[in-house]
Amino acid sequence: MEAETTIRALLGTACREAVELFDATACAISRVVGDLLVGLDEHTTSGRPLAHGHEYLISDFPLTREVVDGGEPRWVSRLDPKADEHEATLLSKLGFESLLMVCLPSSGSCWGLVELFLEHGQFDPERAELAARFSTRVGTLLERLEPPELV
């Protein structure tokens, strides 16, 4: 990832590396724009596209809101009877059993979201912590490529 010279290339490489590193079925990176989550890049081992280029209202997904606002990783399984209905429905629609979401921090805020998907199985605190550290590294590299906002 360190060799990438554009944001697009960094995000694409990060998605590919995350899938391999976390033995995930897919990874998507989205940008937080107000209450919108806009899909920027993705990588899947199944060849099925995710939601690249799609937009979701963060306020429709309480667990996503927690990650964006609090910066702490969260995970959900559609098989969990206590799972948020919107999150579980989206997972089912995409054909995945579990989702791990981590904040992509950059310039002191949650720039975006890194989402890891599993077709089978669930995430745990250890993988969540590793994913958060991975995302922090991506955020550091992003700061190097993204020009600072004018105040």
Domains present along the chain, CATH in parentheses:
7-145 (3.30.450.40)
Task: Say if residue 52's pLDDT is above 70.
Answer: no
**Average pLDDT value for the chain:** 89
pLDDT of residue 138: 96
Cross-strand partners of 113: 30, 103
Residue 146, pLDDT score: 75
Partners of 44 in the beta sheet? 26
- pLDDT of res. 149: 54
Mean pLDDT of the region 9-18: 96
pTM: 0.90
- Given a contact cutoff of 8 angstroms between Cβ atoms, the answer to whether 10 and 114 are in contact is no
Return d(Cα 47, Cα 76) in angstroms, integer. Answer: 22
